[in-house]
Amino acid sequence: MTTTHVASRTATVHANGIDVHYLEGGSADSPDLVLLHGGLVSTNPLWDQTPFSYGTHLAALSERFHVVAPDLRGYGRTRHTGGGRVSMSLLADDVAALIRALGLDRPAVGGFSNGAMVATIMAIRHPGIARALVNDAGCDIFDPESKSFPMLRQVFGGAEDATEANPDAVEAAFGADPDMRGFLSLIKADHDSAGGPGYWHTMLKHFFEASQHWPGYGFADFAKIDVPTLILVGDRDELSPVEDCIRAYRQLPQGQLCVLPDTQHIITAAKVAGIMDFLG
């Protein structure tokens, strides 16, 4: 089944034991680019109105690349089957399996925020599968002492020592700010439309499982990434601080670092231009 979305098509492929929904844009003759969304969102076009999605930029990217943008396991239209915990390593293995299932030959792989973390762990766990890597604002998780972990547990679990997601805590935390209330409304509209009423609770559970603790990979593991790698971050990013990105960059055998001025934890046209320049 296919539908249109900007310059893209939608499809599903079986990989790593699940059916992965993905958007595909551009010509199959163009260089391959696997593009991973951030946490809490998906490839649903309703996110195109926000700066947290690559959807707005998909048409421009598709002019240069054959773009494959999947919904990660547990997000949007990609279900997590079985009762096991969703981890960053599992998500990374899903992406590697997707690449193999689609027969992509060493694509460039990149992502934003959680998607950047998954892309990076995939490059560490599956050497040689990608020709280049882009990590956009996804370096904090590689510090086991990162302030992001207790902050995430507080917001999404209701306490700094929370061990599971708490939708009521999320409602309370997001409800105090008009912008965050709007963000939560999009989360509900996206995931409930894909999985049924209340499915956003399930998505939140999977997000929390993967994100609330150190994944077992640190900055030293960036030395194992043997392909050209771009570390991309805004200078005002409070979730993935510039300092963490510099630590990651200094470990890379073939690294580049790009710090965007006056930029927070968002996707911008300048970031997308930087990605295209890097990938050539």
Q: What is the pLDDT of residues 58-103, one digit of tens each?
A: 999 999 999 999 999 999 999 998 779 999 999 999 999 999 999 9
pLDDT tens by residue, 10-59: 999 999 999 999 999 999 999 999 999 999 999 999 999 899 999 999 99
CA distance 250 to 115: 21
Which residue(s) pair with 9 in the sheet? 4, 24
Contacts made by residues 193-198, CB under 8 angstroms, sequence distance 24+ = 193/44, 194/42, 194/44, 194/76, 194/77, 195/79
Strand segments, DSSP code E, in 43-198 are 66-70, 108-112, 132-136
Q: Can you give the pLDDT at residue 6?
A: 45
Give this prediction's pTM.
0.96
Instruction: Locate the domains of the chain by residue range.
Output: 4-145+217-279
Please choose, from the candidates 96, 146, 106, the residue with its C-alpha nearest in 3D space to the C-alpha of residue 248.
146
Q: With beta carbons less than 8 A apart as the criterion, state whether 183 and 174 touch.
A: yes
The first and second tokens of residue 129, run together, are 């599968």
Architecture of domain 4-145+217-279: 3-Layer(aba) Sandwich (3.40)
3-state helix, strand, coil in the chain (%, to 5): 40, 20, 40
First-residue to last-residue Cα distance in the chain: 32
Q: Is the pLDDT of residue 169 over 50?
A: yes
